[in-house]
Amino acid sequence: MTGWTWRCVMMSTAVVALAGCADSGSDGGGGVDPGDSQAASVQGTSQKGPFQQGANVTARNLQADGAIGTQSAATTTTDSRGNYAFDGLEWSGATRLRIEGTFFDEVQGSLSSESRYLDAVIAASQASEANINLFTHIQSQRVRTLMGNGQSFADARSQAEQEWQSIVGTSTPATELDLLDGQSGSAESDNVSLLLFSAAVLQSGLSQTDLDGLRDDFADDGQINGNAQSAYQSVTTAAQDPQLLQDARDNLQSEFDTEPPNGDASGIGWIPGACEQTRLNVSNRQILCTSDDPLADLNRGAPGQSDTARTAAAVVFETAGHYRIEISKSSGNAFGGNNWTLYNFDDQDTREQCESSAEQGSATGDSVVEGLTNRLNDDERTCLEVYYAPTPDNGGPSELRVGLVPLNDGGPSLDEAVPLTLGERFAGKIGNYVGSGSDFPAYSYYRFQAPTDGTYRITVDGYSNLGSGSMRIALFEDQDNNGSITFFNDQERFDFTGGPGTDSTSTTLERSLSAGTYVVRVFNGTGYRATFESDPYYLTSLELSILVEQP
């Protein structure tokens, strides 16, 4: 994440009115180096939930390598909302703040029975505002570690902020976040993220040691990928409780007579999707996800296999639809007599074998093994098992290349259909029939809103044609305006156009429609299923463009 800037925000504290905001110059510290002796003032609010009156706040200067310096100052919070103020520090620049005391428990709706401490690393200046919270605590040691590696304070603070933002999906600097503030416009969604994170930390029972573990895990490489993974997982699991955020908001509103931030927790970045969830949970095999690079290396199976080798990976399909899977060698000699099978996910699967017997697709081939999956749901986890020969010990590949190629757009429900904007072309794709008679063909689905009664034209073009047909378009209407499409049942279906034998590279359907919501279903009638690329070749779906307009 790049391009963010520190914003000048006046905070709602009952402490000291500031004359201005800190300079946002390239040194990140109001133009002051860490060792500058110029006096500084700092104020803000401190929150786990809000720290209570009497909590201790200490400030320590940081040396250029991130080590704690010799200068310090102490104060106490001024009110029960966690506000603090340092009126005249004897230094400015790189500073570590620490708040320690009891706090308001937003989950229980009462004061905490134990003391906690949280840190923030800031640039103290003549007039600084800096909040202290869970996000600043987790970033604090990362800043100091980067400074110890030779980075300037400004660069270290910027990098740590961006790394944490990439994990939690926020864009507001952590020192500007306030879990009591529901009035900050674009920052409100980030305040919601902090509030839910804070509530989930309490709900999951994380201790001070656990919080420090998150901080220290993040410190070494800007990721939560070490000993703190289980603690992070417990937080994200707790956050799935749909009532947690609302209860926290209600308790804060009742206690502090304020409007806490509101929003939908489902879009919060730090709550992992199925791919990230699998990476957190699964350690006994490789994880491949369709949001990754379309081509991924699959490491070899167990060594010492004399005839055929076998290797497996967990695969997460984050978007519903049909996929083509292609397996080829990435090194070693050519190989043959190979196959892959996609199974239902099983926690007992290993790096070399899928345990489940329920298949989702399979294929057999030679140097490239390609085949179709059944239609998969969004965020569906599977186990991909590959057999190949010769083995790596006998000149075969030490790694395999895996292509995970989506064949179609959208799915057979209103919320799955890809939204279109009237008058704007959309670059789409469409697959071909799937072999299984029990599965849906690889149709593509698009939806649009007709704002008024009138004539509407749907054009599908830009695709190749092998002389065996064209695109077929079917149009479905949400007649009862209930937000869903039930195909071949209670909704109207308009006739398709461009049937078999039509040799064209453009298909048009024009209809007089009433205002409402419509879904366009596109079927590949060309018999053209793929384009071929070399070294190795990978099969893709047919590209097209779709345009809905009022002529």
Minimum mean pLDDT among 31-35, 247-251, 289-293, 422-426: which range?
Answer: 31-35
Cis peptide before 419 (omega within 30 of 0): no
Give the rounded percent of residues in the chain with a pLDDT score beyond 70: 79
Average pLDDT over residues 287-312: 76
Q: Compute the distance between CA of residue 94 and CA of residue 191 in angstroms, rounded to an integer.
A: 25
Contact 541, 329 (CB under 8 A): no
pTM across the whole model: 0.66
Cis peptide before 536 (omega within 30 of 0): yes
Contact 439, 342 (CB under 8 A): no
Higher-confidence residue of 497 and 542: namely: 542
Q: Compute the distance between CA of residue 277 and CA of residue 380 in angstroms, rounded to an integer.
A: 12
Query: Using one digit for the tens of pLDDT, what is the confidence trace for 394-448?
Result: 777 778 888 888 888 888 778 888 999 999 999 998 876 544 444 556 789 999 9
Distances 496 to 291, 445, 447, 479, 518 between C-alpha atoms, Å:
33, 14, 16, 18, 14
Average pLDDT over residues 494-504: 61
Question: Which single residue is written with the structure tokens 């509030």?
Answer: 195
Minimum mean pLDDT among 51-60, 166-175, 325-334, 518-527: which range?
Answer: 325-334
- Cα radius of gyration rounded to whole Å, the chain: 29
**Residue 323 pLDDT exceeds 70:** yes
Residue 304 confidence class, pLDDT cut points 50, 70, 90: low
Query: Using one digit for the tens of pLDDT, what is the confidence trace for 374-403?
Result: 888 889 999 999 988 877 777 777 788 888
- Long-range interactions of 487-496: CB distance < 8 A, separation 24+: 487/412, 487/521, 496/472, 496/523
Residue 210 confidence class, pLDDT cut points 50, 70, 90: very high
> In this predicted structure, what is the pLDDT of residue 11?
30
What is the per-residue DSSP string for 72-92? EEEEE--STT-EEEEEEES--
Average pLDDT over residues 346-359: 85
**Residue 12 pLDDT exceeds 50:** no
> In this predicted structure, what is the pLDDT of residue 293?
76
Task: Kindly give the residue spans of alpha helices, DSSP state H, lying in 258-384.
Answer: 274-281
Higher-confidence residue of 351 and 161: namely: 161
Average pLDDT over residues 514-541: 62
Question: How many C-beta neighbours within 10 Å does residue 361 have?
Answer: 24
* Strongest mean pLDDT among 132-141, 254-263, 340-349, 403-412: 132-141
Query: Using one digit for the tens of pLDDT, what is the confidence trace for 156-195?
Result: 999 999 999 999 999 999 999 999 998 877 789 999 999 9
Phi, psi dihedrals of residue 225, rounded to the nearest 5°: -140, 15
Domain boundaries, the chain: 40-267, 281-406, 418-549
Nearest alpha-carbon partner for 418 in 545, 271, 275, 317 = 545
Phi, psi dihedrals of residue 434, rounded to the nearest 5°: -95, 145
Q: 208-221 and 229-238 helices cross at what angle (nearest 10)?
A: 120
Query: Using one digit for the tens of pLDDT, what is the confidence trace for 226-260?
Result: 999 999 999 999 999 989 999 999 999 999 999 99
Average pLDDT over residues 68-81: 91
Give the rounded percent of residues in the chain with a pLDDT score beyond 90: 46
Residue 133 has which token pair?
Answer: 């919270």
281-406 maps to CATH 2.60.120: yes
Residue 484: partners with Cβ closer than 8 Å, 6 or more residues away: 413, 414, 478
Question: How many C-beta neighbours within 10 Å does residue 280 have?
Answer: 18
Q: 229-238 and 274-281 helices cross at what angle (nearest 10)?
A: 140
**Residue 59 pLDDT exceeds 80:** yes
What is the per-residue DSSP string for 170-213? --S-GGG--TT----GGGHHHHHHHHHHHHHHHHTT--HHHHHH
Average pLDDT over residues 261-290: 88
Domain formed by 418-549, architecture: Sandwich (2.60)
Residue 337 confidence class, pLDDT cut points 50, 70, 90: low
Average pLDDT over residues 300-326: 78
Average pLDDT of the chain to the nearest whole number: 82
Residue 540 confidence class, pLDDT cut points 50, 70, 90: low
